[in-house]
């Protein structure tokens, strides 16, 4: 089977049902994959774009927790594929098809949809998380998988040895066969010939469909299993089947202008989310969003261009080292080292620095915000100061140990 045919015979499953509780109140009303990121996107746009750009255009998005905004986004922004060419992006909500339980783990989420998977008669199944930010050509991983004759391939990324205890770590031989797997080990194994790094699982898997189906059924009947790919199935496969490690560096989308070719981020904490957005304000970000050969797609709405008002001595509409999205108005205020999502207004005499302002926020006059994440639809009252007094910030809003303050409209209303 040639690679193009194999891509068309691959079903991509994006696991997008999780809450992402470490993002705190950002996921009170939306699932983690639906969280806005990078000015105009949602997190799920990255795996979806990777699939389409890789030529894998049969995609199922598995949803569960507070999925309305995610469903709406996928329906409005990702409905351009051709069903007459056997292409689709479908939403598969949790339906308790195999009993009364909701999804109990990542493997169980796929198991509960086995009837639909079997009906599509795919040769391969690509399993993806819906909450990571990266660019990857999955067709290269599929090519390696086919050539190796593996039953399952696991995408892996090199991480410094000092950080390896935060990941599921693969121990591989010189031919990249996975010979051991350890979840967050205290003494992690290193890569052959590279004693300073370990090989961490990215939560990206390619299975032969028949092999996956048989093992999911077996796992579902195991009462001792937590029904999770990373915790249960991948460790179980080691030594029992042909399981290969695929190096992310082989399939990462490269651009000579960007220094870090292996950009992959789990933006699962408030600090990681803030840092990932802040990266985009740098002169040369680690993540390239300007590569026309590998576009990141999203839902597009009709909005006017960003606008900057006033040029008086103390009232100049200015944005420095920042990302300002469509529909924004910076009116007699200063925005520095920040990212404004769509339809944000910053009113006169205010200053916003090192902050992430989500869509449709209105920041009143004479405000000062520093190192703040402001959730969608917030109205910041005139004269509000956040980011200068840690005690006051923690009393009014959510402030983490890294000094990032999260503000929601509910928090603001609670002050009155």
For the chain, the domain total comes to 2
Dihedral sign (CA 385, 389, 392, 396)? positive
With a cut of 60, say whether residue 100 has pLDDT above it.
Answer: no
195 three-state secondary structure: coil
With a cut of 90, say whether residue 83 has pLDDT above it.
Answer: no
Say yes or no: 311 and 272 in one domain: no
Binding positions are: 103, 168, 183-184, 201
Say yes or no: 41 and 148 in one domain: yes
Which structural domain range is residue 125 located in? 3-279
Tokens linked to 148 = 């190796």
The answer as to whether 333 is a domain residue is: yes
Least confident span in 78-87, 220-229, 258-267? 258-267
Average pLDDT, the chain: 93
With a cut of 60, say whether residue 7 has pLDDT above it.
Answer: yes
Distance CA 305, CA 303 (A): 7
Q: State the CB neighbour count (10 A cutoff) for residue 31.
A: 26
pTM: 0.95
Say yes or no: 159 and 67 in one domain: yes
Q: In this predicted model, what pLDDT tens digit does every residue of 284-294 receive, in sequence order?
A: 899 999 999 99
Alpha helix segments (H runs only) across 40-113? 45-53, 68-77, 106-111
The answer as to whether 365 is a domain residue is: yes
Say yes or no: 362 and 247 in one domain: no
Q: In the prediction, which pLDDT does 98 show?
A: 55
Binding positions for alpha-D-glucose 1-phosphate are: 103, 168, 183-184, 201
Question: Dihedrals φ, ψ of 93, to 5°?
Answer: -75, 155
Q: In this predicted model, what pLDDT tens digit does every residue of 339-383 receive, in sequence order?
A: 999 999 999 999 999 999 999 999 999 999 999 999 999 999 999
With a cut of 80, say whether residue 255 has pLDDT above it.
Answer: no
Distance CA 136, CA 328 (A): 31
Share of the chain above pLDDT 90, in %: 81
Q: In the prediction, which pLDDT does 99 show?
A: 58
With a cut of 80, say whether residue 390 has pLDDT above it.
Answer: yes
Alpha helix segments (H runs only) across 54-178? 68-77, 106-111, 114-119, 138-148
Count Cα neighbours of 221 within 13 Å in the Cβ-side half-sphere: 5
**pLDDT range class, residue 261, cuts 50, 70, 90:** low
Distance CA 172, CA 68 (A): 41
With a cut of 80, say whether residue 252 has pLDDT above it.
Answer: yes
380 neighbors 396 (Cβ within 8 angstroms): no
Distance CA 10, CA 309 (A): 51
């Amino acid at each position: 089977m040639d690679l193009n045919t194999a891509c068309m015979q691959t079903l991509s499953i994006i696991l997008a049902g999780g809450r992402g509780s470490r993002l705190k109140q950002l996921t009170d009303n939306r699932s983690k994959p639906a969280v806005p990121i990078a000015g105009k996107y949602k997190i799920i746009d990255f795996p979806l774009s990777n699939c389409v750009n890789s030529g894998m255009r049969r995609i199922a998005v598995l949803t569960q927790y507070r999925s309305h905004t995610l469903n709406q986004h996928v329906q409005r922004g990702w409905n351009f594929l051709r069903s007459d060419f056997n292409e689709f992006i479908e939403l598969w909500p949790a339906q308790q098809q195999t009993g009364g339980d909701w999804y109990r783990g990542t493997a169980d989420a796929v198991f509960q949809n086995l009837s639909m998977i079997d009906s599509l008669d795919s040769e391969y199944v690509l399993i993806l998380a819906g909450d990571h930010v990266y660019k990857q050509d999955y067709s290269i991983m599929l090519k390696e998988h086919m050539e190796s004759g593996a039953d399952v391939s696991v995408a892996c990324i090199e991480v410094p040895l000092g950080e390896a205890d935060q990941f599921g770590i693969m121990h591989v031989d010189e031919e990249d066969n996975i010979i051991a797997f350890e979840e967050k080990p205290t003494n992690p194994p290193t890569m052959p010939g590279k004693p300073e790094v370990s090989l961490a699982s990215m939560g990206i898997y390619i299975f032969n469909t028949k092999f996956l189906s048989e093992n999911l059924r077996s796992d579902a009947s195991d009462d001792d299993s937590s029904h999770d790919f990373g915790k249960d199935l991948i460790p179980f496969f080691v030594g029992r089947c042909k399981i290969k490690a695929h190096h992310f560096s082989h399939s990462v989308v490269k651009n000579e202008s960007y220094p870090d070719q292996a950009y992959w981020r789990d933006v699962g904490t408030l600090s990681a989310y803030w840092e990932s957005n802040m990266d985009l304000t740098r002169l040369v970000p680690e993540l390239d969003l300007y590569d026309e050969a590998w576009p990141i797609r999203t839902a597009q709405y009709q909005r006017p261009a960003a606008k900057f008002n006033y040029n008086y001595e103390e009232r100049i509409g200015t944005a420095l080292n920042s990302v300002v999205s469509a529909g924004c108005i910076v009116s007699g205020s200063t925005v520095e080292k920040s990212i404004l999502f769509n339809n944000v207004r910053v009113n006169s005499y205010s200053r916003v620095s090192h902050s992430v302002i989500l869509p449709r926020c209105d920041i009143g006059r004479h405000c000062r915000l520093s190192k703040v994440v402001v959730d969608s639809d917030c109205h910041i009252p005139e004269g509000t100061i956040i980011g200068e007094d840690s005690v006051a910030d923690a009393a009014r809003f959510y402030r983490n140990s890294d000094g990032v303050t999260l503000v929601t409209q509910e928090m603001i209303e609670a002050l009155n």
